[in-house]
Amino acid sequence: MDAVYLEIRKIARKIAARYPRPDFYRAHPSETNGSRRFYHSDVAILRLREDMAGCLDDDFGHGMGHVEKVAIDAGTLVIIESRLAGHAEDRVQRNLLLAQCAGLLHDICRKEKSHAEKGAETARDILRTYPLVPEEITHVCTAIRNHEAFSRLERLPARQARIISDCLYDADKFRWGPDNFNHTLWDMVGFVNPPLEVFVDHFPKGMALLKKIRGTFRSRTGRRYGPQFIDMGLAIGEELYQVILTDFIPPP
């Protein structure tokens, strides 16, 4: 990454550090801790983590660091939503497994066209060797197909499938908040390495996309807490943009 982007990234992270942890984590500490413990202890998830470590590139903002956060947050959301739906605790734990599988696998084909569709096909092949029944594999793959913003949403008659799909989507879009300016944006810049003028020209378009994402959260919990993630991202981005214009773009 060019020195100028390293400096801008440093500024972005300083701005982001001033913001508190989103309310989602403070409001649901037991579910967050439960999902995190599961992620670090379940045999199938541990195996899938090892499998995925060699399949994901960290140079495009959607590597292992990204999918781990998505998996854990999707798990947290699924615990909350499954209990709200009245599921028995054994079903809650099964949903947690499926949500974390979906989180780890959702960006496996990130650099390809129609990456959600191709990712779902690849995930099905991978999960055939895991201790999941065919219906559960279908739920995971459907969630992966449905995780892209602004695309046609597949109708899901099964409540379990809807919960997993909605929670994966929301956990993935949580990353469009502070995470975007701490990590994702800079990984993508490092991969593309655009001229600073191009980066600055595209910045308002990216901010406009963030605003559109704000109204797309799908689960009840996601709709409650997701907009705050985006609002934080917008505030960080707006402040950063002004710094870039003032300190990095020479006057005409």
pLDDT by residue (tens digit) across 146-166?
988 767 666 666 788 899 999
- Mean pLDDT value across the chain: 91
Burial of 207 (0-12, 13-18, 19+ CB in 10 A): middle
Place of tokens 């991969």: 191
Name 195's Cβ contacts closer than 8 Å, sequence gap at least 6.
Answer: none
194-222: average pLDDT: 96
**Model's pTM, two decimal places?**
0.93
How many angstroms separate the CA atoms of 43 and 49, rounded? 10
How many angstroms separate the CA atoms of 167 and 217, rounded? 9
pLDDT at 196 over 80: yes
Contact 59, 191 (CB under 8 A): yes
31-49: average pLDDT: 97
Which candidate, 26, 9, 1, places its Cα nearest to that of 244? 9
pLDDT at 172 over 90: yes
Of the given ranges (35-44, 50-59, 94-103, 219-228), which has the lowest mean pLDDT? 50-59
How many angstroms separate the CA atoms of 152 and 23, rounded? 30
Burial of 129 (0-12, 13-18, 19+ CB in 10 A): exposed
How many angstroms separate the CA atoms of 226 and 174, rounded? 6
230 conformational bin, left if phi > 0, alpha if psi -120 to 50, beta if neither:
alpha
Contact 203, 241 (CB under 8 A): yes
- pLDDT score at 63: 79
Burial of 205 (0-12, 13-18, 19+ CB in 10 A): exposed
Tokens of 225: 């807490």
Contact 234, 193 (CB under 8 A): no
Tokens of 83: 């209990």
6-10: average pLDDT: 96
